[in-house]
């Protein structure tokens, strides 16, 4: 029985041991595996997955994916002929393989962000199912090694809404992908729990009396709020419907803060705020598409041949064509993830320091950009306002005020975010929880209750 936080930014596994949740060490990844995957070719992901599915499910999977497996086998043979490593990598190792040569291979960060995307074709949904299953298979293998036993029962965390638009259909699509992926890798009993509710279960363990808690889970891809009635008298219950007073959720999270910092802090170095020879401002759509790593359609449009021609025209007409050359360099070498990764690392650096220097030497010799907390605040003001709106929506829906606000999630570490929430929401004391471990710990507690 495990709690599996398949997060947008990180994956974590917790199990109950001696009455308390224990966050497992996932081998080389430590307690948190970055939610990233690298494959030398996207076609070989299904082959790796097939090799890492245990019988008897493997035969059924092989028969249903025969055509895709044949395409992958052709790709594997080409890779082997070229002397290219054919294995998949996960977490920080995936990022490093991408950074070693961004123009080669297939790298994806935060696939969870795409699962509820509207308008995905069936083959796209199937592709994401394989990606999620490959990551789950890897994590499951490491979990079973750590526990020295097979694991078949799992509670997986989920946001209140995977997407803002058409949320009912979006949620259904995403849950089906996660469920199918979990079944592929051998989980037999699969349950889901809202991530803010799970984080609340962990906080509940510290309470001594009934308390109205507004749980704010600011994850990598979504922010979810739940108003929950908590206390010692409820902890053993396997049905908390009556105590869940309200939910709110939206696709706004840490990735969006990274993207906005990339736009405001990095993209001016690529010509975003420059002018054309005519004196007109530089069109900005390509800049937004370039860093929209959580938007399949935007990334497809940016890396299209049509957009490549547009960028060449913009360079020709620009007052500062050398800046557009950098954007073309991003286009030619598929550097979107590298740009956003730079912004993410700068955001993390701003947790401890007032300012941070971003190394952009991959765009030009000795190119750097200084960013500070004020820039992060200004760049992220729309996202911060969205978080505040979700908090107030949950309070209004519950028709009562919280006794305490419990904030968790990786982005919650940011002093910029903390100060904004303190200023915006002064009705109750604010408690900052375990930024990454609260959800998985709460999922483990729920797993023990429902599977016991």
Please check whether residue 318 lies inside any domain of the structure. Answer: yes
Q: Is residue 274 part of a domain?
A: yes
Q: What confidence tens digit (pLDDT) does each residue in 12-30 have?
A: 999 999 889 999 999 999 9
CATH number of the domain bearing residue 169 = 3.30.420.40
Q: What share of the chain is helix, strand, coil (3-state, %, to 5)?
A: 55, 20, 30
Distance (Å, rounded) from C-alpha 134 to C-alpha 46?
8
Residue at a domain's end among 172, 195, 218: 195
Predicted confidence (pLDDT) per residue in 327-375, tens digit: 999 999 999 999 999 999 999 999 999 999 999 999 999 999 999 999 9
Q: What is d(CA 97, CA 66) in angstroms, rounded to the nearest whole number?
A: 29
- Domain match, 239 and 322 both: no
Show the domain range for 18: 2-195
Distance of CA 220 to the CA centre of its chain: 4
Residue 166 has pLDDT above 70, yes or no: no
String of DSSP letters for 87-131: --EETHHHHHHHHH-TTSSEEEE-GGGGTT-TT--HHHHHHHHHH
Mean pLDDT of 378-382: 96
Percent of the chain with pLDDT over 90: 78
Are residues 228 and 446 in contact, defined by beta-carbon separation less than 8 angstroms?
A: no
CA 225 distance to own-chain centroid: 17
212 contacts 400 by C-beta, under 8 angstroms: yes
In a domain, 179, yes or no: yes
For the ranges 173-182, 282-291, 309-318, 402-411, which has the lowest average pLDDT? Answer: 402-411
Q: Assess whether pLDDT exceeds 80 at residue 429.
A: yes
Whole-structure pTM value: 0.87
Instruction: Give residue 68's pLDDT band: very low, low, confident or very high (50, 70, 90).
Output: very high
Give the pair of three-digit tokens for residue 340. Answer: 């956003």
Q: Are residues 291 and 214 in the same domain?
A: no
How far is 370 from 375, CA to CA, in rounded Å? 10
Is 440 a domain residue?
A: no
Q: Of 379, 398, 415, at which residue does a domain stop?
A: 379
Cα torsion for 64, 67, 70, 72, to the nearest 10°?
-90
Q: What is the mean pLDDT of residues 109-136?
A: 93
């Amino acid at each position: 029985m495990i709690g599996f936080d398949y997060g947008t930014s990180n994956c974590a596994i917790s199990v109950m041991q001696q009455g308390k949740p224990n966050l497992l060490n996932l081998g080389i990844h430590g307690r948190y595996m970055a939610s990233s995957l690298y494959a030398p070719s996207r076609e070989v992901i299904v082959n790796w997955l097939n090799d890492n599915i245990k019988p008897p499910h493997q035969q059924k999977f092989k028969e249903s994916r025969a055509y895709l497996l044949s395409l992958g086998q052709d790709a594997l043979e080409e890779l082997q002929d070229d002397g290219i490593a054919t294995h998949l990598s996960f977490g920080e190792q995936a990022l490093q393989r991408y950074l070693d040569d961004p123009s080669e291979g297939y790298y994806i960060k935060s696939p969870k962000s795409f699962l509820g995307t509207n308008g995905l074709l069936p083959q796209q949904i199937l592709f994401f199912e394989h990606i999620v299953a490959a990551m789950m298979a890897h994590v499951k293998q490491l979990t079973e090694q750590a526990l020295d036993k097979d694991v078949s029962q799992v509670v997986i965390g989920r946001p209140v809404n995977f997407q803002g638009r058409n949320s009912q259909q979006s949620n259904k699509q995403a849950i089906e992908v996660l469920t199918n992926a979990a079944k592929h890798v051998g989980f037999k009993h699969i349950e889901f729990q809202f991530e803010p509710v799970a984080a609340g279960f962990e906080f509940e363990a510290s309470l001594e009396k009934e308390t109205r808690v507004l749980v704010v889970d600011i994850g990598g891809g979504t922010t979810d709020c739940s108003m929950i009635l908590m206390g010692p008298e409820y902890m053993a219950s396997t049905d908390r419907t009556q105590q869940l007073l309200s939910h709110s959720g939206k696709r706004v999270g840490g990735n969006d803060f990274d993207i906005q910092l990339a736009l405001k802090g990095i993209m001016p170095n690529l010509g975003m705020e420059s002018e054309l020879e005519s004196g007109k401002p530089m069109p900005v759509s390509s800049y937004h598409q370039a860093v929209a790593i959580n938007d399949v359609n935007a990334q497809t449009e940016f890396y299209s041949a049509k957009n490549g021609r547009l960028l060449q025209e913009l360079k020709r007409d620009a007052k500062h064509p050398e800046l557009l050359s950098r954007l073309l360099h991003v286009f030619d070498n598929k550097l979107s993830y590298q740009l956003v990764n730079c912004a993410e690392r700068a955001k993390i650096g701003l947790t401890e320091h007032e300012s941070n220097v971003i190394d952009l030497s991959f765009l030009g010799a000795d190119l750097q950009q200084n960013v500070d907390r004020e820039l992060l605040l200004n760049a992220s003001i729309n996202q911060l306002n969205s978080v505040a709106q979700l908090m107030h929506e949950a309070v209004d829906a519950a028709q009562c005020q919280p006794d305490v606000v419990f904030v968790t999630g990786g982005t919650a570490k940011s002093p910029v975010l903390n100060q904004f929430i303190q200023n915006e929401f002064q009705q109750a004391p604010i408690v900052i929880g375990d930024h990454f471990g609260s959800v998985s710990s709460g999922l483990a507690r729920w797993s023990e209750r429902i599977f016991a």
